[in-house]
Amino acid sequence: MDLHLPRRRALFVDRDGTLNPDLRYLREANRLELYRGVGSALSLARQHDYLVVCVTNQSGIDRGFYTREDVEQIHTRLNALLHPSGAQVDAFYYCPHAPDAGCRCRKPATGLFEDAARDHQIDLGASAILGDRSFDIEAGQKLGLLTGLVVPPGHEEALREETRKRGTQPDLVASTLLGAVLRVLARG
């Protein structure tokens, strides 16, 4: 890592359930659809000098439901869907392991975030994570990130219970990614 390069802030985002509906082990890139407003949200973050980094658990690889190539095709399609909004995900990091693998990369572990910080000279203390699960929040808290939970209408009670059980309380909660990004920018 070049110590002379300026450190950047990043907006870390989860994928399934945050950027797009969680279709459980999505394999076919052509089935990927984004939630409404995701392009505007990520475009706004990039306009405010946030690097957009997607960090996602993809245990379907380890379980044999799909391949790394399938995941790469999904990420290519995701950026293609964002393009008309002037948005993009600048980097994708994913954990291919099953939950019981004990790896350093599966959220709530912080390995993928640490890799991204090293690869892109990210200042974690000036960065944020937005996700739809308590393990997104837990990973962010371990690293000192601003944490935001994106809770679609109708899922509030289940996520409230999940965060209570895991002992994680996000810094902010919003019903859409755009609402969460606006709250991050307001703090920023």
Q: Is 14 a catalytic residue?
A: yes
- Alpha carbon distance 188, 184 (integer Å): 6
- Alpha carbon distance 6, 2 (integer Å): 9
pTM: 0.93
Please check whether residue 128 lies inside any domain of the structure. yes
- Domain coverage including residue 84: 9-186
Catalytic residue, candidates 2, 14, 22, 49:
14
Q: Check residue 32 and give its pLDDT.
A: 96
Please check whether residue 47 lies inside any domain of the structure. yes
Q: Is the pLDDT of residue 167 over 90?
A: no
Q: Is the pLDDT of residue 179 over 70?
A: yes
Give the residue-averaged pLDDT of 32-59. 97
Distances (CA, A) of 37 to 18, 27, 158, 166, 171: 11, 23, 23, 29, 21
Please check whether residue 149 lies inside any domain of the structure. yes
Domain count for the chain, please give it: 1
Please check whether residue 4 lies inside any domain of the structure. no
Catalytic residue, candidates 2, 16, 70, 123:
16
> Helices in the chain by DSSP H: which ranges?
38-47, 68-82, 111-120, 134-143, 156-166, 177-187
Q: Is 119 a catalytic residue?
A: no
- Alpha carbon distance 25, 28 (integer Å): 9
Share of the chain above pLDDT 70, in %: 97
Average pLDDT of the chain, as a whole number: 93
- Alpha carbon distance 107, 53 (integer Å): 14
Give the residue-averaged pLDDT of 161-169. 79
Q: Is the pLDDT of residue 2 over 60?
A: no
Q: Is the pLDDT of residue 3 over 70?
A: no
Burial class (CB in 10 A: 0-12, 13-18, 19+), 111: middle
- Which CATH number fits the domain that encloses residue 62? 3.40.50.1000
Instruction: Report residue 4's pLDDT band, with 50, 70 and 90 as the boundaries.
Output: low
Please check whether residue 134 lies inside any domain of the structure. yes
Please check whether residue 3 lies inside any domain of the structure. no
Burial 60-81 (b: 16+ CB within 10 A, else e): bbbeeebeeebbebbbebbeeb
